[in-house]
Amino acid sequence: MKITFRQDLVGSVVFLVVSITLWLLIPYQILIEDEEEIITAQTFPRLIIGLMGICSAILLVKELIKYFRKQPVKMVELNFQQEGRALTVVVLLVAYWGILHWLPFMLSSILFSVLLLLFFNCRNWKYYAIVISIVVSVSIFFQHFLNVSLP
């Protein structure tokens, strides 16, 4: 199954919706005690999200003008059969996030990386050894030398 859509038009709408949603969520996520301050913890996130919203709105207006004038635009074809592998990687990432709640960081990271190597048909045992040793060394470094508690 294939879908063809206007890349910039869809992208601008998606990012405009995301920026409006994030803008409305900021007061609930970053609580401030002294409302009289000019610069607070909400200032920089609001600045970045506001800039994202303004740029998305400008791009949306440009794309709507092109649409009504029937000017050529960027079209993207999305083939779901080819995107199935990317969707599988996203599912593995979500599973990794879920496993982090029950298993320690080191064990869940090793499990995720081994499943990812298996998914990409990696047959060389050296790659598995390298990935596992990196996960173990990073975990030990963060927990014992930096005193950072990993999930």
Q: What is the pLDDT of residues 23-67, one digit of tens each?
A: 999 988 888 877 777 788 888 999 999 999 999 999 999 999 999
Q: How many alpha carbons lie under 13 Å from residue 94 in its C-beta half-sphere?
A: 6
Instruction: Quickly state the pLDDT bin for 3 (edges 50, 70, 90).
Output: confident
Q: What is the pLDDT of residues 86-103, one digit of tens each?
A: 888 999 999 999 999 899
List Cα–Cα distances, 140 to 104, 133, 135, in angstroms: 12, 10, 9
d(C-alpha 43, C-alpha 49), whole Å: 10
Strand partners, 77: 4
